[in-house]
Amino acid sequence: MMNPYLQVAIGGAIGSAARLGIYRAIPAQGFPLATFLVNVAGSLAMGLLAALLAQRGGNWAPLLLTGLLGGFTTFSAFSLDALTLWDRGQGFLAAIYVAGSVLLSLAAVCVGMAVGRGIFA
């Protein structure tokens, strides 16, 4: 069995290169279509692969889920985590996770940009 860190590194390199290819193929023109498509496609692939690995097992999760799809889009991991909470009957916690992740991430980007502009301006 391959070292899981090596699996993540290999998958991450492939996923990140795939994301760059999509960004270059679909340039932004007023709406971040490439990012939108990557997030939706990555989430679809995450669901398919998570279901497949749950049924068939194996040691492919680090390579495919964490590495490939993590490099392609971390939104897919976020989506799977939210759905897992929902499936476990923790709907309230899933809602807090979704709202908190989105709102705090947006706030963190704003703070980071403000601090970065103050430091690097």
70 assigned binding-site residue? yes
Cβ–Cβ < 8 Å for 42, 102: no
Cβ–Cβ < 8 Å for 94, 61: no
35 assigned binding-site residue? no
Residue whose tokens read 């992740």? 101
Residues 6 or more apart whose Cβ sits within 8 Å of residue 76: 39, 42, 43, 45, 46, 69, 70
Query: Residues at the annotated binding site for Na(+)?
Result: 70, 73
Instruction: Report the binding-site residues.
Output: 70, 73
